[in-house]
A and B are shown apart, each in its own frame.
Chain A
């Protein structure tokens, strides 16, 4: 059956004014890196160079931490919460005002569909600043003691999958609690963070409260190892998370880690199939599967697996892969050549290990980094594609017969970030949710986020919670 044909509906790029070159944002000003090194940020959809960005060395990180320390000691750490709140409200408002520009830039730099950056990322970014703005002068009511204090300088390292949203998750609670920050965006997606730096200037945020140091892993390590950083917040891979946990051993640095996942999405035989299929698609193909909480393992009850898979495949043939700026696009570009190589490698391993691979017919653009939505059936728990985080649009399908088996398989992973349950039976939802070892359980829905809702993992998915009242704890001294 032929799909509807769509005329291209590209969002205009003209709203974005990308500078050819960006320095480091330290002490309220853009400054050159000490050793003069720059790297390029490209559009993963076209491989076009978008801008060159400064690479911060350890002396740059020193400067940024010093600026953050001064701002903490002299201004932000002693400012009444009421005034911190007003700055955060200002930032939230400016983000709303510039939201179209930021959404386009996010899609350009990251490769995600404009439909998602416009309808998911940006609204959540603004909402996050609004939410934590309101906490700034109410911290004594948060349940962390009558007079909770900020910790000091927070070093924050964020990933490339939700660049501006992860920035918001880090900066909003830190600032609300009275800390100052040195934030390192991901190497492949630094641009929206640099526009955020401009927004800090527009909001007249005191210099040094927010510092942004761009660079790769070495810059991040310099932030983590800096002796004058009091708190580390990291979102990224479990492997790097482990390294950070080791690096801070023996220090007084506080740490929160939001790491990888291999979430089970469990579909029982009484689930509404059409809704479950939408949830499965949203669970694994949202943001090209570049989601730590993606529902990358589908556990389907054996009696409905055939019906469900037929329906899922039908639905997948309707997914539109292509230009991130096209408003009809469902799946955009893979964020980098490196990530594409990893997805390809693990998918090849899936075939070699005996799982059956299927993708809908789909034309991929010639330039840029692309991977068709893919499912593997006949997957067993021993397969690497059932154990390792692929971080791409690749779903591993396993089956089960009893609820106990579903729970057993769902929990059979070192990760524990999220899980999904699909069933019409309320008591079953609550019983299964109780038994799942995961920090977020979506029942009859998937991949929902809200600033008031705590997010974070069990086991090797890390520790600490971001979002909600719980998210304040990481930034307050008891």
Chain B
């Protein structure tokens, strides 16, 4: 709970923590909330998941169709906005028992991924020297809508570390925030909303992963699911099995603890990209 009175005795204005769907901040359609750190947080429902997927799907053409340079600019803008609200995030992660340095790392992570936007295609794709008179080029592109279960142990840095690699390549996202530490996720949504990120590219739901996760994993209009934040092996297995129904790309939870401060590598990006290979004959 934030400070209720400032040093001058002024009564502070509290913030209502809400979901983030399609660029707007609705409450859960279910009207339910749960309490985290003395704060009411929306308890997202199945229908909220579906609304979020609809918003994410609608956002794909514009976001994937943006130039890589433009996506990079927007990711960098997110870093700028986050830097500006650094103090607020330090308060929030500290209240959750995390080190304030994770906020700095989260800001830097956006900068790191911002630079990847117009480089990943050069590193991961390329021309193929086929044995014939053909132009042949492989390029990565978005897989589509990605469902993410955010890491429970790292409310901001962990979230940014799974979110940024998903959206940098043109995917849109429905993310289930850390169940017991959702406040930084909602505040991050406010940052995203003021960073020129088109509405619907990132949708944030708070609530119980065991309740909403299965709906997200089994949703037939979701292309991939990142289970990084699922700490219950039984639930992870169920979600992976549900994802098989439409052959979602699955990122499994790591077998052990993850050091979110380490340099990420490109695997999180490439796991959520498709490779398209285009052929054309050469001739006069």
- Which of A's residues lie within 8 Å of B, judged by CB? 127, 143, 238, 241-243, 245-246, 248-250, 252, 257, 259, 414, 429, 433, 436, 438-445, 448, 450, 452-456, 458-460, 462-463, 465, 468-470, 473, 478
B128 contacts which of A243, A245, A250, A450 (Cβ < 8 Å)?
A450
Q: Are A454 and B244 in contact (CB under 8 A)?
A: no
Judging by beta carbons under 8 Å apart, are B279 and A246 in contact? no
27 A-B pairs within 8 Å (CB atoms) are namely A241-B247, A242-B244, A242-B245, A243-B244, A245-B241, A248-B240, A249-B237, A249-B240, A250-B233, A436-B276, A440-B276, A440-B277, A441-B276, A443-B278, A443-B280, A444-B281, A445-B281, A450-B130, A453-B130, A453-B136, A454-B128, A455-B277, A459-B223, A460-B246, A463-B249, A469-B126, A478-B265
Measured between alpha carbons, how far is A238 from B247 in the docked complex, in Å?
9
Residue in chain B with minimal CB distance to A241: B247
Measured between beta carbons, the chain A residues less than 8 angstroms from B238 are 249
How close is A44's CB to chain B, nearest CB, in angstroms?
30
| Contact yes or no, B132 A468, CB < 8 A | no
Query: Chain A's nearest CB lies how many Å from the CB of B123?
Result: 7
Smallest CB gap from A449: residue in B: B130
How far, in angstroms, from A259 to B128 measured CA to CA in the complex? 23
B279 touches A440 (CB 8 A): yes
Flag B271-283 by CB within 8 Å of A: 1 or 0 each. 0001111111100
Add 7 more A-B contacts to A245-B241, A445-B281, A456-B275 (CB < 8 A): A249-B241, A249-B243, A250-B237, A441-B278, A442-B279, A448-B130, A454-B275
Once A439-B275, A450-B132 are accepted as A-B contacts, the answer to whether A250 and B240 lie under 8 Å apart by CB is yes
Q: B270: which A residues are within 8 A, CB to CB?
A: 473
Q: When the two chains form the complex, which single residue of B123, B237, B249 contacts A143, counting CB atoms closer than 8 Å?
A: B123
Question: Which of chain B's residues have a CB closer than 8 A to the CB of A442?
Answer: 279
B-side contacts of A246, CB under 8 Å: 241, 244
Q: Is the Cβ of A438 less than 8 Å from the Cβ of B276?
A: yes
What's the Cα separation between A450 and B129 when bound, in Å?
A: 9
Docked-complex contact A458 and B274, CB < 8 angstroms: yes
Q: Is the CB of A454 within 8 A of B241?
A: no
B69 in the interface (beta carbon within 8 A): no
* A143 close to B277 (CB less than 8 A): no
| Interface size counted on chain B using CB atoms at 8 A | 39
User: Which chain B residues numbered 115 to 129 have a C-beta less than 8 Å away from chain A?
Assistant: 123-124, 126, 128-129
Q: What residues of A have a CB within 8 angstroms of the CB of B132 in the complex?
A: 448, 450
A462 touching B280, Cβ below 8 Å: no
Residues of B within 8 A of A414 (CB): 246
CB distance from B265 to the nearest CB of A (A): 7
Q: How far is the CB of A241 from chain B (nearest CB, A)?
A: 6
CB neighbours (8 Å) of A245 from chain B are 240-241, 243-244, 247, 250
Query: Which B residues are CB-close (under 8 A) to A473?
Result: 270
Any chain A CB within 8 A of the CB of B39? no
A439 to B238: give the CA distance in the assembly, Å.
28
Taking a contact as CB atoms under 8 Å apart, the answer to whether B280 and A439 are in contact is: no
A465 CA / B126 CA spacing, docked (Å): 14
A450–B247 touching, CB < 8 Å = no
B-chain residues with CB within 8 Å of residue A450 when the two chains form the complex:
128, 130-132, 134, 136
The one of B131, B252, B275 in contact with A470, judged by C-beta atoms closer than 8 angstroms, is B275
CA distance A436 to B247 in the complex (A): 19
Q: Is B138 an interface residue (CB 8 A)?
A: yes
Q: Is B259 on the interface with A (CB-CB < 8 A)?
A: no
The 10 closest A-B pairs by CB, nearest first: A250-B237, A245-B244, A249-B240, A450-B130, A249-B241, A246-B244, A443-B280, A452-B128, A453-B128, A441-B278
Of listed A459, A462, A478, residue having the most chain B CB within 10 A: A459
What CA separation (Å) do A414 and B248 show in the bound complex?
12
Distance of A29 Cα from B247 Cα, bound (Å): 37
Chain A's closest residue to B240 (CB) is A249
Let me know if B247 and A445 touch, CB within 8 A: no
Q: Which residues of A contact B124 (CB under 8 A)?
A: 143
Which residue in chain A gives the minimum CB-CB distance to B143? Answer: A458
Q: How distant is the Cα of A250 from the Cα of B240 in the complex, in angstroms? A: 7
- A452 x B249 contact (CB < 8 A): no
Q: Bound state CA distance, A262 and B119, in angstroms?
A: 32
B138 cross-chain contacts in A, Cβ below 8 A:
453-454, 468, 470
- Chain B residues positioned under 8 Å from A455 (CB to CB): 277
Of residues 215 through 271 on chain B, the ones whose CB sits less than 8 Å from some CB of chain A are 223, 233, 236-238, 240-241, 243-247, 249-250, 252, 255, 265, 267, 270
Contacts of B250 in A (CB 8 A): 245
Per-residue contact bits, chain B 157-171, to A (CB 8 Å; 1 contact, 0 not): 000000000000000
Taken together as a complex, chains A and B put the C-alpha atoms of A448 and B132 apart, in Å, by: 10
Contact A439 B246 (CB under 8 A): no
Determine if A429 and B280 form an interchain contact, defined as CB atoms under 8 angstroms apart: yes
What is the CA–CA distance of A332 and B60 in the complex, to the nearest angstrom? 44
- Considering only CB atoms, which chain B residue lies closest to A416 in the complex? B274
Task: Please name all residues of chain B whose beta carbon is closer than 8 Å to the beta carbon of A250 when the two chains form the complex.
Answer: 233, 236-237, 240-241
Distance between Cα atoms of A429 and B280 in the complex (Å) = 9
User: A242 contacts B279, CB within 8 Å?
Assistant: no
Task: Write out the residue numbers on chain B whose beta carbons fall within 8 Å of the beta carbon of A441.
Answer: 276-279
- Scoring B136, B223, B249, B275 by chain A CB atoms within 10 A of each residue's CB, the highest score goes to B275
Contacting pair B236 A454 (CB below 8 A): no
Cα of A61 to Cα of B131 in the assembled complex, Å: 38
Q: How far is the CB of B278 from chain A (nearest CB, A)?
A: 5
Known: A242-B245, A439-B274. A478 touches B267 (CB 8 A): yes
Please report the C-alpha to C-alpha distance between residue A66 and residue B244 in the assembled complex, in whole angstroms: 29
User: How many angstroms between the C-alpha atoms of A13 and B280 in the bound complex?
Assistant: 37
Q: In the bound complex, do residue B237 and residue A439 qualify as a contact, i.e. CB atoms below 8 Å apart?
A: no
Question: Which B residue's beta carbon lies closest to that of A445?
Answer: B281
Give B122 Cβ to nearest chain A Cβ, in Å.
11
Complex Cα distance, B101 from A183, in Å, reads 50
A273 to chain B, nearest CB (A): 16
A136 CB to nearest chain B CB (Å): 18
Instruction: Determine if A463 and B280 form an interchain contact, defined as CB atoms under 8 angstroms apart.
Output: no
Give the contacting residue for B244; candidates A249, A443, A448, A469; CB below 8 A.
A249
A140 to B191 Cα, complex, angstroms: 40
Which residue of chain A is the closest to B238 with respect to CB atoms?
Answer: A249
Closest to A442 in B: B279
Contacts A127-B131, A249-B237 given; does A463 touch B247 at CB 8 Å: yes
Question: Bound complex: CA of A243 vs CA of B247, how far in Å?
Answer: 10
In the complex, what residue of chain A is closest to B236 when comparing beta carbons? A250
On whether the beta carbons of B274 and A444 are closer than 8 Å, the reply is: no
Name the residue in B129, B138, B255, B277 with the highest tally of chain A Cβ atoms < 10 Å from its Cβ: B277
